[in-house]
Structure 1
Amino acid sequence: MRRLTLFIVSDSIGETADLVAKAAASQFRQGLETVSMKRFSHVEDESQLNEIVYLAKKQEAIIVYTLVKSDMRFRLKEECKNKGIKCIDLMGPIVDLISAELDEHPIEEPGLVRKLDEDYYKKIEAIEFAVKYDDGRDPRGILKADIVLVGVSRTSKTPLSQYLAHKRYKVANVPLVPEVDPPEELFMIEPEKCFGLVISPEKLNFIRKERLIALGLKDDANYAQLDRIKTEIEHFKKVVEKIGCNVIDVTNRAVEETANVILSEISSRNG
């Protein structure tokens, strides 16, 4: 039984070429058993290319490569031609076609697709975190969060958590009510991680009445009473003073504006 060796060459980790080569080999009977693959990752200079071609010549291997830099692709192709080595360029033709269609030169930076994937999965993880630790459901999330939001009901804690999650921050939010002691975890975190959201009693009174009406309820419930709201806000002030965190007035701010205040604060701390 003849055996075939494929050299997988990449200026990143080589996952793409490896998967394509395996998919192709699987189309043949016992293909994955008779085709062996050796991966050469993070190939960045011509001396490495020359060494790989030399080894391929000795082992009668075929070179399959994904190199984003056009000069590296050209050098490898020429070296293979000179040494009589068969090679397959998986990246070049696609990049060249897209470049021509867009009338734009490619960046030619290795590993960009992995960076995009990592960024995507980090965002998804942050969104799932915000859902899991929304509205004080599990106080353990407070200690794991990048940002903790506290405030009375209807101060936009949940939409703000989701907005910040799309910026890849893990956010937990905790509602504060006078009848329930705040979770002790709030006083265990660094105050800089916590942001209190406050709103004028009159604005909150209007928002809560609208909320009750939307739910088909009467708007004169204790939840929307001005005296009740003032009591909640006084309780809020005592808690955030004990935490020592920043307080943001969200009375006339959109969620995006509040988020920008938080992100600017974090950015200034990180220098």
Structure 2
Amino acid sequence: MDSSTMIIYVISDSIGETGELIAKSSVKQFESYNYEIKRYPYHNSIEQIEPILEEASKNKKSLIVYTNVVQKTRDFIEEKAKALNLHTVDVMGGPMDQLEDILGYPPLREPGLIRRLDDNYFKKVEAIEFAVKYDDGKDPRGAKKADICLVGISRTSKTPLSMYLANKLYKVANIPLVPEVPVPSEVYEKDVKRVIGLTCNPEKLISIREERLKSLGLSGSAKYANIERIKEELRYSQQIMDELGCIVIDVSTKAIEETAEIIIDYMENMEKNF
């Protein structure tokens, strides 16, 4: 290797992305200077890290960038680096010290917390994509795959509930109940504990459906917002829900968040008991 090449050793108790990004961003400020980054993920013991520091000490142009949070490891890196006359960048130290001063209590010092947050982020994206794919009965096969299957007539908050619950990491499919359309067999084959019926009083549904028609530039006198039609749909949906034996939630006076919390509580209790 060319002796003029800067070697940056990125040591991390997680995957090391943050340290590598900071190293690259910093060295890029020095135009076309030759550099190499060596990343050492999941290195948190003295036995793992000591040989890296020994190797770095053999090159005059070495920099140690570390993102470790366990205090014993951090102390070792600083003491050993000082003994070997190595330059170090403690990525996490400064921000954690300042936050401790402001908040008045020490950090958790648990490696990989940001990665756990990232995992939740990807699970959330997956759940949202699932909700979109299996919205409004587009593909009834989703009922079988879903953590939760919502059933109800039009405008009983199935779609917004699906999206809200997706943000809580639940994969949700929703199936509209329409008297003229047979209920997909997948709904009957679903574990009934994971099927949730939604209902609403006729007066509330009329106002919601009339507003929906207005937003589409259609007449409020359409069958969709007719009181007798709505009552027929509600009777039909109640019949289906009785056949399924699922729990039923009346959403007439509830915000999406309230209904979602009822469903989440129900799911958590159900999963504890089974």
Deviation at 1:102, TM superposition (A): 5.1
Please name the residue that 1:50 is paired with.
Answer: 50
Please name the residue that 1:192 is paired with.
Answer: 193
2:41 paired with 1:41: yes
Distance 1:217 1:37 in 2: 63
2:10 paired with 1:8: yes
**What are the superposed Cα offsets for residues 153-187 of structure 1, whole Å, 9 maximum, x if unpaired?**
11111221122122122222121111112233323
| 8 Å CA contact 1:123, 1:168 repeated in 2 | yes
Distance 2:227 2:99 in 1: 61
Within 5 Å, which residues of 2 pair with 1:258-269? Answer: 258-269=259-270
Please name the residue that 1:167 is paired with.
Answer: 168
Relative to structure 2, which stretch is displaced further, 234-243 or 154-163? 234-243
Within 5 Å, which residues of 2 pair with 1:226-245? Answer: 226-245=227-246
Which residue type is aligned with residue 151 of structure 1? G
**What are the superposed Cα offsets for residues 49-107 of structure 1, whole Å, 9 maximum, x if unpaired?**
43443444457754221122344322211111123333332222333344445555333
Distance 1:140 1:123 in 2: 21
Identity %: 46
Deviation at 1:264, TM superposition (A): 0.9
- Aligned residue pairs: how many? 268
| 8 Å CA contact 2:131, 2:162 repeated in 1 | yes
| 8 Å CA contact 2:10, 2:19 repeated in 1 | yes
- Secondary structure of 2:8's counterpart equals strand
Deviation at 1:19, TM superposition (A): 2.8
Distance 1:133 1:111 in 2: 33
Q: 1:71 to 1:236 in 2, by over 3 A?
A: same
Distance 1:218 1:79 in 2: 78
Distance 1:169 1:230 in 2: 31
| 8 Å CA contact 2:193, 2:270 repeated in 1 | no
**What are the superposed Cα offsets for residues 104-135 of structure 1, whole Å, 9 maximum, x if unpaired?**
53332221222222223332332333233322
Distance 1:63 1:206 in 2: 65
Distance 2:91 2:207 in 1: 61
Distance 2:255 2:87 in 1: 60
Distance 1:90 1:108 in 2: 14
Distance 1:59 1:243 in 2: 72
Distance 1:255 1:62 in 2: 53
| 8 Å CA contact 1:70, 1:92 repeated in 2 | no
2:195 paired with 1:178: no
Which residue type is aligned with residue 46 of structure 2? E
Please name the residue that 1:256 is paired with.
Answer: 257
The TM-score with structure 1 as length reference comes to: 0.83
Deviation at 1:25, TM superposition (A): 4.8
Within 5 Å, which residues of 2 pair with 1:70-219? Answer: 70-101=71-102, 104-212=105-213, 217-219=218-220
The TM-score with structure 2 as length reference comes to: 0.82
Relative to structure 2, which stretch is displaced further, 206-215 or 242-251? 206-215
Distance 1:114 1:91 in 2: 15
CA RMSD across the alignment: 2.8
